[in-house]
Amino acid sequence: MNNDTNAKASILDAFQFRHATKQFDSSKKISADDFDFILETARLSPSSIGLEPWKFLVVDNSDLKDKLKQMAPGAQGQLDSASHFVIILARNIKDVKYDSDYVKNHYTNVKNFPVELIDQMQQKYKAFQEVDMNLAESDRAFFDWSCKQCYIALANMMTAAAQMGIDSCPIEGFHYQKVTDLLDKEGLLEDGHLGVAVMVAFGYRVQDPLPKTRKSIEDIVHWVK
Ligand SMILES: Cc1cc2nc3c(=O)[nH]c(=O)nc-3n(C[C@H](O)[C@H](O)[C@H](O)COP(=O)(O)O)c2cc1C
């Protein structure tokens, strides 16, 4: 096997290894170093127009986890047993609209754009958001657009974890409004600038999953020539 073949085999092994883990071994903790590595893959993830419209809430508080359990039917096994439990928050219209303070600050201080180009950049993104993407249709459209970016980070974190032999489970099975109200009450949503995109649990499996089932490549790929 040459190196490319080795790399491909080990990446595909990780994709086969990853499964939506329902129950983790609560006696096993991911090391701080490994969890930092998973978070770093989130940080380096791409996002549309580079806005990084996310925040990763690492829930390490049993009281908050107990409360979440009452509103997250899809996380019943994971909340108690995962080594680490993350809620991925997405920035809403207040931050991701082309003319927001967040966008201006992000482009100036994170992306180091020349100040004199900011106005021009905002006009370009106004057209992109309002005309091309039709986000002005509703606040929800802006928020969903941010959530899409969060799911890229979600996927990268889970794949990176799998490559390290760490299990995970993405979680959408929760009551959105109840979780939002809870986190808002706890002061975790930056005064209404953040909403809940998706959750993800990490840890180590207690049992092997059932064999993976997927459609065939022919069923999902259509080459247009
Ligand atoms: C966005 C998203 C949300 C999901 N939400 C839940 C959930 O709330 N609870 C759960 O146990 N599994 C959840 N899953 C896991 C899926 O059911 C699972 O990925 C799918 O059945 C394929 O199985 P596999 O991941 O084990 O290959 C979710 C998956 C995704 C991608």
14 phi-psi bin (left φ>0, alpha ψ -120 to 50, beta other): alpha
State whether the beta carbon of 170 lies less than 6 angstroms from ligand 1. yes
**pLDDT string in tens for the chain (225-residue length):** 557 889 999 999 999 999 999 999 999 999 999 999 999 999 999 999 999 999 999 999 999 999 999 999 999 999 999 999 999 999 999 999 999 999 999 999 999 999 999 999 999 999 999 999 999 999 999 999 999 999 999 999 999 999 999 999 999 999 999 999 999 999 999 999 999 999 999 999 999 999 999 999 999 999 999
Give the whole-angstrom CA distance, residue 152 versus residue 222.
23
Specify whether the CB–CB gap between 36 and 138 falls below 8 A: no
127, 133, 138, 139 alpha-carbon torsion, rounded to 10°: -80
Locate all alpha helices (DSSP H) within 164-203, ordered by sequence.
176-185
Angle in degrees, CA 181, 187, 190, rounded to 5: 100
Ordered structural domains, the chain, with CATH? 20-220 (3.40.109.10)
**Closest C-alpha residue for ligand 1 atom 24:** 19
Give the whole-angstrom CA distance, residue 82 versus residue 20.
12
Specify whether the CB–CB gap between 199 and 72 falls below 8 A: yes
State whether the beta carbon of 77 lies less than 6 angstroms from ligand 1. no
pTM: 0.97
Residue among 81, 172, 213 to mutate when testing ligand 1 (max atoms within 8 A of CB)? 172
**Closest C-alpha residue for ligand 1 atom 29:** 170
